[in-house]
Amino acid sequence: MSDETFSPGLDGVSVAETRLSDIDGESGDLVVGGFPVEELATNATFEESYFLLLRDRLPTDDELAAFRADLAGRHEIGDEVRAVLRRAAADGKPAMDALRMGAAAATLGTDDGVPEEDARRVVAAFPTIVATYWRYRQGEDPVAPDEDLGHAANYLRMLTGEEPSEAAVRGLETYLNTVIDHGLNASTFTARVVVSTESDVVSATTAAVGALKGPLHGGAPGPVFDMLCEVHESGDSEGYVRGKLDAGERLMGFGHRVYRVRDPRAGVLSTAAERFYEERGESDFFETVREFEDVAVDALAEHKPERRLETNVEFYTAALLHGVGVPRDLFTATFAVARAGGWTAHCLEQLDDNRLVRPGSRYVGATGRTWTAAENR
């Protein structure tokens, strides 16, 4: 019998020291690279946020220009990867499956192998992989990356084939920064476990994609959007919420494994979405979103007074990504485009002072059995 502490889901167990991000679930605070998420997300470019995770400081102007050019130069993917994505699209594979396939092949045609080089390659290739798959799925040719554009703008341009508006770029940039890292969540932990075996960064991030795909982790924004569209069409937030709760069904976009108050990222994305919809003159949909949140939070407090269920990041992710032009089927893949920054930074941090991740388990099976030959069973 093991005398190790038993903690299902590793609740309350710390298995790594990190400088990348810190969560206070009781007060609802998230710090990324030493900055409150509210400050970093609304001021930084994605390249600045990623540089911060890698170097533990913000870049100078010259460093930022060089870093941005370096990432932009790694956006292109080879013919072999495009062929895989074309087949995935033709077979109707979901976006996360296509991303997993593309991520696994991300270093084809490159001479990488150095961990940070692979990390940068993964981060740069992810938006190209997702956008290329989407173009094929729409029966259109891929749009080549533009090395003069930043990470967020490039992604939108490759998706649509059009130059994105400043408002859309700013909205997407805020989203990417907001979710770039979030403690030792399931996919980040997966990446650290894989790389702790001294496997490579590409393998680790491919495994992380698999973890993020699950509906209990990164798969919720799509269903949230479906819910918001249904309520916007009916105009009956109260009826929808009461109907779900009376039926014993879950309200997507509320409650979080870590936070006991409103997810701070929801606040950042709410502000960004409100600003975007006001600038576009399309506030009707956002008003539905806000009304639904108010109704749902009150109803959940009444329905489950013993458990505080507040708005989480997925709720406003759906509203913001829809607004800036990301298709519903790409919400989780776009989450991965952002989180690749955190995954790869965690991989490099793990390798800096590596110890193989090898938790124990509690055995609950039978004991004392004796062997019986097959003919006597």
- 117 assigned to active site: no
Overall domain count for the chain = 2
**Domain containing residue 283:** 221-324
- 256 assigned to active site: yes
| Shared domain check, 207 and 101 | yes
What is the rounded CA–CA span in Å between residue 204 and residue 210?
10
| Shared domain check, 345 and 309 | no
State the CATH number of the domain containing residue 140: 1.10.580.10
Residue 4 within any structural domain of the chain: no
Catalytic pick among 75, 151, 182, 256: 256
What is the rounded CA–CA span in Å between residue 89 and residue 84?
9
- 156-175 pLDDT tens trace: 999 999 999 999 999 999 99
Least confident of 18-22, 280-284, 373-377: 280-284
Residue 358 within any structural domain of the chain: no
| Shared domain check, 318 and 281 | yes
Would you state the pLDDT for residue 111? 67
Catalytic pick among 314, 322, 346, 349: 314
Is 357 buried (19+), middle (13-18) or exposed (0-12) by CB count in 10 A? Answer: middle
Residue 14 within any structural domain of the chain: no
| Shared domain check, 183 and 309 | no
How wide is the angle at C-alpha 31 spanned by C-alphas 28 and 36, nearest 5°?
Answer: 85
- 260-316 pLDDT tens trace: 899 999 999 999 999 999 998 888 999 999 999 999 999 999 988 888 889 999 999
Residue 367 within any structural domain of the chain: no
- 101-127 pLDDT tens trace: 999 998 887 766 799 999 999 999 999
| Shared domain check, 163 and 103 | yes
What is the rounded CA–CA span in Å between residue 277 and residue 262?
22
What is the rounded CA–CA span in Å between residue 82 and residue 100?
13
Would you state the pLDDT for residue 374? 96
Rg (the chain; Cα; Å): 22
